[in-house]
A and B are shown apart, each in its own frame.
Chain A
Amino acid sequence: MSVLIQEDDFDLASELTTLRSGNSKVGAMVSFVGLVRDFSHDETIESIYLEYYPGMTEKALNKIIVEATERWSLINVRVIHRIGQLFANDQIVLVATTALHRGEAFAGCEFIIDYLKTAAPFWKKEQTREGSQWLETRETDVKRMEHWHNDTVRKSA
């Protein structure tokens, strides 16, 4: 289980190789990569700037991972979140999980990215030709997070 916050890009293939290495029980590996979109609110995004709260952000991410491992039997988890200035199509975030079976790997990965969106302290500023603005937590992200509190969902996977 590991969390990394960095300015540098990451290499998906090598991250996944490391994540699965040394454990022949791993039967499923799921990864989610978030990218900088070049459109938001109908304006062209030139770049985004991301900042975080050193100390608290790592703690919050580790807490999310612990919660995921309590709900599903995950063998390993890797979260990498980039900060600083990023451009369209850049990778922002990686969430990768390994498990015995795909159900747990899928659910754990989705849970972690959904929680990260609403519970990990990151701040994102979009730079467009019109100027810049700090983004607020999106209502759709809050809905996705809340859906994990639903009892039927809680018992699934």
Chain B
Amino acid sequence: MKIELVYFGRPREHLKISRETADVPAEASTLAGLLAWLRLRGDLWAQELADSRVRCAINQEFAGLPAPINEHDEIAIFSPISGG
């Protein structure tokens, strides 16, 4: 399943990535599963993408960890927001 991943804030800076197209396995079909799959990329990823440290959006709407992911979704992964 191909999805678009975008990163903002702390994970974008620390992981040195702002956008990628990823082909994710079936078990990564929820946000929780996707994060767990991305954490397998190494220690830095495991640390930066800990469930408690990131927030997510699916197709530009905030979404919680159990939310399902579909083909071609735009998934955003970011640190907690702080505007204003």
Query: Which residues of chain A have a CB within 8 Å of any CB of chain B?
Result: 34, 50-53, 55-56, 59, 81, 92-93, 113, 116-125, 134-138, 141
Contacts and interface: CB of A to CB of B under 8 A. Distances in A.
Given A51-B8, A53-B6, A55-B60, A122 B81 contact: yes
Interface residues of B, number: 18
A59 B74 CA distance: 15
Interface string B1-21: 000001011101100000000
A contact patch SS:
mixed
Interface of B: 6, 8-10, 12-13, 57, 60-62, 76, 78-84
A134 B79 contact: yes
A93 B8 contact: no
Nearest to A93: B84
Nearest to B60: A56
B57 A56 contact: yes
A138 B82 contact: yes
